[in-house]
Structure 1
Amino acid sequence: MAMLLMGLPLLGCSAQDEPKFVYPDKPVQYPMYDKSTLNNEADWHINNAHDPSIIKAEDGTYYAVSTDVRVGSPPKPGIMVRKSKDLIAWDWVGYAFNGIPAEAAAWTGAANLWAPDVHKFGEKYYLYYAASTFGTNQSYIGVATSASMEGPWEDQGEVVKSQKGDEANAIDPNIVIDADGKPWMAYGSFFGGIYVMAIDPATGKPAQPGDKGQRIARRDPATEEGAMEGPYIVYNEQFKQYYLFVSYDSLFSDYNVRVGRSDSITGPYTDMNGQRMDDIDFLPQYEIGNKIMGGYRFSEGEGWIAPGHNSVLNDDGDFYIVHHARPEGDKNWMYLHVRRIVWTKDGWPVVSPERYAGEQVQKVAKSDIAGDWERIVFDKDTDGQSEAEPLKLIADGHVGTKDSKDEWTFDGDHTVTLTWYEEDGSVASTEELLLLPSWDWERDMPVLTFTGLRSDGTGVWGKKQEGAGNSKK
């Protein structure tokens, strides 16, 4: 077997012309359920992070802003700010505000601030925040400005607000820049769905005063269990498409991330099957949207519950999804996760099964693919966690056993295609799976992983059981 040197190229185990690829070094790891940090904000590196949004400052520092939450006691209101140099190690910065801005507090009676987003217009950062109370749409999105991500922040007041009787719910703001350089704001949640409206970059507020925008996505009935919220839109120049990420279902138990795309920022957004994200007549509605991530458990290590409410970072063509997740041992804790996004040949985003540790998309040797894997399928009707199941890829191209009809093929670079057959020999489904040399956070070692989509728009994850040849001593 090949010998692994941490942070150095790993040679293929046969021919000299096989590609070399590099596994990430062991990343910093923060202890889980660390009660010694409960009252020490400086140690909240990735703990107490909920609904995170990310931006990269001009000096290369990444900043994440997030909802006011706290394990074990009521949170301090003010929008949490963290920073990182590598998207792996995170340091506490502090709070953007000392409490809730007066106008937002008067309109909503909120006890904390939710789901912020941040964007830079000109020389100023614009921090968008939401105030509301759970289960109502007496809600308010405001904006504050600063010359620095570390403040001080000056509140600029209302962007949009809502009240009982309105279809829209003024929470979960997200600023997106279209292909022509014009800013828009997506916002909304399960009351009336997701809306998008044009923004004036000079003020950071609606281009047309009083405008609440147009709806681009929704579900019905609008209940916590049937929620659609946390919109985030990103434009991919390569595919000339806008991608709408939303979170489905209950944030406490079965949050999952869905994706649709559009030629236009105002929609319509459709999934891999052509289903519109605003179609409330199609049943069952849980089938709409590519489900790229949900609660999961591999065979070893702790699983995660309700990952969601994500933002997306386009870092000079490298894309990352930033989201929160709850550990299965105690879902009252919430942690910040960053994962690499890779793109299928047809231009769909898929998410790494492992948290980011510095891995890069690389050419992989075919000889490194065959072996025992475990695979997670995010079936759209699954609530809660999806469990890993064994997958055997045989060197001759069969799946499971040598006499199986099911097969796998390799494109010679970093993409494997699984083809599953019916008993009559017809194709049941295919899976396009992109390989990533990653860090196995569950087993604390390098590992070859894959992520992709089934032909019906269902997310598929996997990782090799032998790791990178490193499990053999």
Structure 2
Amino acid sequence: MLTILLFPLAFLLTLTHAYANPGACTGDCNVHDLSVLQRSSDGKYYRFSTGNRITIASAPSLTGPWTNRGAAIPSGSSIDLPGAEDLWAPSVHKVGTSYILYYSVSEFGSQTSAIGYATSTSLDAGTWTDHGRTGIASSPAKPYNAIDAALLTTSSGEQYLSFGSFWAGLYQVRMNAGATAPAGAPSYQIAYNATGSHSVEGAYMFAYGGYYYLTFSSGVCCGYDAGRPAKGEEYKIMVCRSASATGGFVDKSGKACKASGGSVLLQSHDKVYGPGGQGVFTDSSQGLVLYYHYVDTSVGYADGQKRFGWNKLSWSGGWPVV
């Protein structure tokens, strides 16, 4: 009888994924919509995030101590749109011998948006030059919202920028060699959630093991201190994959990402609530690392209390696992 009772319990446990808790963080660990990378010249870590005209923090280790170093674009953007003084969702990438920082100019809930960029040779505060528009913008006449940009460079050197939030979902466009403007071809849809408010945003792509992985955030992102959504409707990190960098993304069940597909990579668990705003980078010692912001329920639910989270990625059946 005991064996019979234990069997269904063991079976259920195999169906339940226990997420690893976030890695340690010391110092300045409050953050929202972040981008993390490690400088190859000296191994120093840099983190860029929404707020204070793109906040730069740095640390000798991924665990910290993180120190606020100031604003990347202290004078605000040269883009003449509402939101030029309150820049969002930075994404920083190395292109050639320098770095490019994409940022969003918009207001919350608005489709009047543009993606701008700045460049630096070192990542440090005081070294960034703002160049304004990339040429990717949106209005109510467009199917997408031009925010949340992130760059993918393929092994053959092609550059693709993903972007989008709600409306008709996530889009992609091929960029020129410097990744500063579209290469001329039109943008195209790579993911869409047909249900509810079409809550997909924050695309980030990376390559591994012969596939391109598309991660994105889905659900209600913010304002949890004022009122939390129905259970399971809060932010979570999703993933699809394709053998091509430019489309055909499907989830673990084979459902197309353009047809509301997406498998959960990380969701609320333990004291972690509403993880999202994610990206992936290659750490010199840990390999592929997923980073994100989240609410620590033992601390508080306000947007300003969100924390820096990170986990080393593991793999199961060709899919990333936290």
Report the TM range for the smaller structure's normalisation.
0.7 to 0.9
Match of 2:262 in 1: 289
- Map 1:39-54 → 2, pairs under 5 A: 45-47=28-30, 49-54=31-36
Q: For each residue in 1:84-143, what CA deviation from the matched residue of structure 2 results, as whole angstroms up to 9, or x when unmatched?
A: 22210122221101142132xx22345511111111222221111001111111001001
Q: Is the 8 A contact 2:78 2:84 kept in 1?
A: no
Closer, same or farther in 2 for the Cα pair 1:200/1:272, shift >3 Å?
A: same
**Aligned partner of residue 111 in structure 2, secondary structure:** coil
- Counterpart of 2:89 in structure 1: which amino acid? A
Q: Where do 5+ consecutive residues of structure 2 fail to align?
A: 1-22, 223-227, 229-233
Match of 2:318 in 1: 347
Closer, same or farther in 2 for the Cα pair 1:221/1:132, shift >3 Å?
A: farther
> Structure 1 stretch 79-88 or stretch 255-264: which is displaced more?
79-88
Residue 115 (structure 2) pairs with residue 144 (structure 1): no
Q: Aligned match of 1:133 in 83, 107, 112?
A: 107
**Aligned partner of residue 257 in structure 2, secondary structure:** coil
Match of 1:91 in 2: 67
Q: Aligned match of 2:200 in 225, 228, 242?
A: 228
Closer, same or farther in 2 for the Cα pair 1:28/1:250, shift >3 Å?
A: closer
Following TM superposition, by how much is the alpha carbon of 1:222 offset from its aligned partner in structure 2, in angstroms? 5.9
Residue 159 (structure 2) pairs with residue 186 (structure 1): no
- Counterpart of 2:319 in structure 1: which amino acid? W
Q: For each residue in 1:142-172, what CA deviation from the matched residue of structure 2 results, as whole angstroms up to 9, or x when unmatched?
A: 0111121014211112111111121111100
**Aligned partner of residue 241 in structure 2, secondary structure:** strand
- Counterpart of 2:206 in structure 1: which amino acid? V
Closer, same or farther in 2 for the Cα pair 1:222/1:138, shift >3 Å?
A: farther
Closer, same or farther in 2 for the Cα pair 1:215/1:203, shift >3 Å?
A: closer
Q: Where do 5+ consecutive residues of structure 1 fail to align?
A: 1-26, 31-42, 69-75, 280-284, 298-302, 352-473
Residue 288 (structure 2) pairs with residue 308 (structure 1): no
- Map 1:37-116 → 2, pairs under 5 A: 45-47=28-30, 49-58=31-40, 59-68=42-51, 76=52, 78-89=53-64, 90-103=66-79, 106-116=80-90
Q: Aligned match of 1:328 in 288, 297, 302?
A: 297
TM-score (norm 2): 0.83
Identity of matched residues, %: 30
Q: Aligned partners of 2:158 and 2:164: how far apart in 1?
A: 20
Q: Aligned match of 1:256 in 236, 255, 258?
A: 236
Q: Aligned partners of 1:202 and 1:325: how far apart in 2?
A: 33
Q: Is the 8 A contact 2:25 2:308 kept in 1?
A: no
Q: Aligned partners of 1:121 and 1:230: how far apart in 2?
A: 21
**Aligned partner of residue 313 in structure 2, secondary structure:** strand
Residue 138 (structure 2) pairs with residue 170 (structure 1): no
Q: Aligned partners of 1:113 and 1:222: how far apart in 2?
A: 27
Q: Aligned partners of 1:141 and 1:245: how far apart in 2?
A: 19
Q: Aligned partners of 2:75 and 2:107: how far apart in 1?
A: 15
Q: Aligned partners of 1:99 and 1:335: how far apart in 2?
A: 26
Q: Is the 8 A contact 2:174 2:182 kept in 1?
A: yes
Higher RCO structure (Cα 8 Å, ≥6 apart): 2
**Aligned partner of residue 81 in structure 2, secondary structure:** helix
Q: Is the 8 A contact 2:144 2:169 kept in 1?
A: yes
Closer, same or farther in 2 for the Cα pair 1:222/1:125, shift >3 Å?
A: farther
- Counterpart of 1:84 in structure 2: which amino acid? A
- Counterpart of 1:153 in structure 2: which amino acid? W
Match of 1:207 in 2: 183
Q: Is the 8 A contact 2:236 2:268 kept in 1?
A: yes
Q: Is the 8 A contact 1:138 1:164 kept in 2?
A: yes
Closer, same or farther in 2 for the Cα pair 1:29/1:117, shift >3 Å?
A: closer
Q: Aligned partners of 2:25 and 2:292: how far apart in 1?
A: 17
